[in-house]
Amino acid sequence: MPSSRLERVEESETIKIANAANKMKSEGIDIISFSLGEPDFNTPDHICKAAADAMYRGDTHYAPSTGIPELREAIANKLQTENKLEVTSDDVLVTPGAKQAIFEVMMSVLDDNDEAILSDPSWVSYSPCIKFAGANPVWAPTDPDNGFMPYGIEELITNKTKLIVVNSPCNPTGGVFDNEMLKTVADLAVDHDLLVLSDEIYEKIIYDKKHISMGSLDGMHERTITVNGFSKAYAMTGWRLGYVTAIPELMKGFKKIHSHSVSSATTFAQFGGVAALEGPQEPVNDMLKEFKARRDILINGLNTIGIKCKRPDGAFYAFADVSEFGDGDAVAEKLLQDAHVAVTPGSAFGLSGKDFVRISYATSQERIKQALQRIEETLL
């Protein structure tokens, strides 16, 4: 019989939609997929070469559990210079993807019946990770007219609250926390003796604002757990390479779970990570320019059709209000079956998403234009 803990957790809706779209593709149907959060660009050549060189010179054995020294040093340097964090290489743990880091954090810092505060909507895997740890997610409402910023967080804090999750830029909304919003969360964390998990995986995909790391704010060094990775900025989703940093007292728990579960990230992939951080950044800038162009085509097109959608400040997602045409679940199903366009229903990300769908514009401008035409023909 399956473990009872599995009953706490729902199936990943993004994976479910992607699987349905892939099944239709295998049947010869031309599906335009906006479902998964995966850049459609190839990993830059210099990163691939670094990993291949490592493989062929024999770096195919176990790596140190916390990560190869070269990568941990490169990550620490990056966090010091770009994010203004007080970090050394000893404070870095390399993981097989940022998702693994988040899972290890939740399992390490949360006890049974603790509470962790999420913005509603939030990325689909935060809540399951919290539930796996035996804790309970508590949802803070957000304001779509104010970039989906959360509000009323203080009213949700109880004696069971342990953690606040910040994801900026945000999946699924593309919202970016400004200094004022971050300071509000920081003040609450200090006043109520809470930890903050800052998921910064989309930090380099910001269009008209500036990324600020939670851990750089006054009083937040000891309270912030920073998670990041290579998947989004460097188009390295299949490499499964992420990292986490925090104070030593917290890192000890992450490392214990890490060593008894995944052991380490793939050795030669880590040399690719070094090349990503220390090599040319022009590919990142080029991808950002293309994402911005795609964003503008998509948002303008959606609003022209009559689908209300705010222009996201970061990431590569549009969180579109489809309430004029039905709830998000019904519209997502209709678009998949009739328009052959795969989007994710907003309900996958929280109760407030029921009238929304998430559209990942990690596909070409041509395909976005084709999808907009199909959507218009199907809904109007």
Report the chain (380 residues): mean pLDDT per 10 consecutive residues: 81 80 93 91 98 98 98 98 98 98 98 98 96 97 95 98 98 97 98 98 96 97 98 98 98 97 98 98 98 98 96 98 96 96 95 96 97 97
pTM, whole model, 2 decimals?
Answer: 0.95
Output the six-digit token pair for 26. Answer: 């295998």
**Residue 13, CA distances (Å) to 21, 129, 169 in order:** 12, 15, 21
Contact 235, 44 (CB under 8 A): yes
Alpha-carbon span 191 to 199, nearest angstrom: 22
Alpha-carbon span 135 to 239, nearest angstrom: 30
Provide the 8-state DSSP code for 178: -
Alpha-carbon span 119 to 150, nearest angstrom: 6
Output the six-digit token pair for 98. Answer: 């940022």
For the chain, the first-to-last Cα distance in angstroms comes to 48
pLDDT recorded at residue 2: 80
Counting beta carbons within 10 angstroms of the beta carbon of residue 191, is it exposed (0 to 12), middle (13 to 18) or buried (19 or more)? Answer: exposed
Provide DSSP, 212-242: --GGGSTT-TTTEEEEEESTTTTT-GGG--E
pLDDT recorded at residue 342: 95
What 3-state class would DSSP assign to 86? coil
Q: Which residues contact 130 (CB under 8 A, 6 or more apart)?
A: 106, 110, 116, 118, 136, 137
pLDDT recorded at residue 208: 87
Cβ neighbours of 289 (radius 10 Å): 11
Alpha-carbon span 227 to 109, nearest angstrom: 14
DSSP β-bridge partners for residue 120: 141
Provide the 8-state DSSP code for 90: G
- The CATH number given to 4-43+282-379 is 3.90.1150.10
Q: Where are the domains of the chain?
A: 4-43+282-379, 61-278
Q: Which residue type, as a one-letter code, is found at position 256?
A: K
Q: How many helices (H) does the chain have, and how many strands (E)?
A: 11, 13
The single residue listed with the structure tokens 């964390």 is 189
The sign one gets for the Cα dihedral 199, 204, 209, 213 is: positive
Q: Which residues of 243-278 are buried (b: 16+ CB within 10 A; e: fewer)?
A: bbbbbeebbeebbebbeeebebbbbbbbbbbbbbbb
**Residue 330, CA distances (Å) to 23, 53, 88, 176, 322 in order:** 19, 49, 49, 28, 10
Report the candidate in 202, 152, 92 with the shortest Cα–Cα distance to residue 352: 152
Say what angle helices 248-261 and 98-109 make with each other, to 10 degrees: 110
pLDDT recorded at residue 4: 82
pLDDT recorded at residue 334: 96
Strands 317-321 and 195-199: unpaired
Contact 220, 186 (CB under 8 A): yes
DSSP β-bridge partners for residue 321: 308, 356
CATH of 61-278, one of 3.40.640.10, 2.30.300.10, 2.60.34.30, 3.40.630.30: 3.40.640.10
pLDDT recorded at residue 5: 81
Do the domains at 4-43+282-379 and 61-278 have one common CATH topology?
Answer: no
The beta strands (E) that lie in 202-340 are given as 224-229, 242-245, 317-321
DSSP β-bridge partners for residue 319: 358
**Residue 136, CA distances (Å) to 13, 71, 106, 120, 126 in order:** 20, 34, 11, 14, 11
Alpha-carbon span 315 to 3, nearest angstrom: 36
pLDDT recorded at residue 247: 98
